[in-house]
Amino acid sequence: MESIVERPTRIPEKVWESLSEDAQILMHGLCEEIRELKDLVRDLSARVKQNSSNSSLPPSSDRPWDKPERKKKVRGRKRGGQKGHPPHVRQSFPPDRVQHVEEHYPTDCLHCSNSLGASNEEPDEPSVHQVLDLPEIVPIVTEHRLHYRTCSHCKKRTRAALPTGVSQSNFGPTVSALVAVLAVGFHLSKRQVKDLLQTLLNVDISLGAVIDAEKVASSALAAPVGAVHEAMSHCNVVYQDESKWPEAGKGGYVWVMASGPYAYYEIARSRGGEVARSLLGGPKFNGYSVTDRYAGYNCYPMERRGICHGHLIRDYQKIADRSEEVKPIGKGLLKLEGTIFKAWHAFKEGKIDRPDLQQKLVDIAIPYEKFLRQGMAQDDSKVSGMCENILGHWEAIWNFGWVEGMEPTNNEGERAVRHLVVWRKKCFGTQSASGSLFVARMATVVETCRRQGINLLKFVGDAIRTHIAGASPPSLIVAISP
């Protein structure tokens, strides 16, 4: 008799065929319900066990009793500087950095109190004690007097125009640049920027003027940031990541690309693959993108991708913590990941060459795939689905061994986006599209200047000056792109 419902795998075929149709339907329904309940129990148990080692939760969310106890090495010595350690002494400023010099002479002998005269002066070099302090900061105010003249022909008055390079605002380029740097570079709110300028620099500025200064900086940085975006589309390896960034109380995401001397940020409402692809110039991008396994990055072919093994380790720890049935699979994959990184570090330290690294990866890939296929065969749908997804990224997982300059993790992208994630928790995103554009452009300049060792305040100030004067802006493009 042919069954009208599929036989559950746990019921022997002989027993199944002995049941009536009604009993088979009832049994099938009960087995499906049991399977769903077991999946629910697994999911809830896994959720309770979640921490920063097996999920995307930050380490700060780990409960104190879940953190592994760190065994401190007992060295048997007191705290602080150890006897005989090299001294750490502040370097003296050179003579050209010293503005004031004061000579001091002793008047009485420290030992017998005898009076010391000028004849007791010794020819040796004096002991030098330098004191660094700040003068009272007083803003420089330039008054532009725009005079009127009356035309002898039409008898109408004409007022003089501001000279080229003079801001229409009441605040000059340095103040506007400082506002932008304090906001994005140091994560200060607009009110904090206002209070800091007033307290430290005696600059009385309103909240509205702070917003206007940000808009000026955003416009001035459009060309340099656009050049960085264009340069990144020619990089061979680019690390990408994204995180939430609300705009006007609605959902949004900040996307980041990082590679060598460059980092580029963009804030968009969507988290879709079309944004990920457009960031690197669409089809013309011929490099490699290193990411996690978020589906939005599937717009890139697997042969042009790298997958973060740090995320894989976290997923395998999740499998190991999920249940006793799948624990051996998770532990086995974690052990293989440890072998991968051991080989990678040996390669980076010059102990093995790239062909040796590639051979080690080929050897590791055989048991690696075996464990993943074991995971796919599990009754646990979450584990089987995860293992199937990882196998779908198979080529991208190993590309770092063959692509020059590619790392096995996406740490560079994650580090680049982290400071905006921290700021988001304080500012809760931006309130307008123009505000998001300002944050993205300034974040690009902040991180790119940091990577190239460029003075951030000077660069933003120069960009604003050239913008006001209508001249060519400064550039963040290095001579040779990676």
pTM above 0.95, yes or no: no
Cα 463 from Cα 475, distance rounded (Å): 9
Per the domain annotation, does 390 fall within a domain? yes
Cα separations (Å) of 130 from 92, 101, 125, 136, 188? 7, 9, 15, 19, 33
- The pLDDT, as a whole number, for residue 60 is 60
Per the domain annotation, does 44 fall within a domain? no
Per the domain annotation, does 331 fall within a domain? yes
- The pLDDT, as a whole number, for residue 476 is 93
Per the domain annotation, does 83 fall within a domain? no
Number of domains in the chain: 1
Question: Mean pLDDT in runs of 10 for the chain (482 residues)?
Answer: 68 77 78 78 70 62 62 71 77 90 88 80 83 87 89 90 84 93 94 93 92 94 94 92 90 92 92 83 82 88 92 91 88 94 94 94 94 90 90 94 93 92 89 93 96 95 92 86 42
Q: What range does the domain containing 243 cover? A: 228-418
> Residues, the chain, total?
482
Q: Are 116 and 107 in contact (CB under 8 A)?
A: yes
Per the domain annotation, does 5 fall within a domain? no
- The pLDDT, as a whole number, for residue 254 is 92
Structure tokens at 119: 């004849």
- The pLDDT, as a whole number, for residue 55 is 61
Structure tokens at 420: 């905006």
In sequence order, the β-bridge partners of residue 265 are 256
3-class DSSP state of 359: helix
- The pLDDT, as a whole number, for residue 84 is 75
- Give, in degrees to the nearest 5, the angle at Cα 211 between 208 and 217: 145
Per the domain annotation, does 337 fall within a domain? yes
Per the domain annotation, does 384 fall within a domain? yes
Per the domain annotation, does 358 fall within a domain? yes
Q: Are 157 and 148 in contact (CB under 8 A)?
A: yes
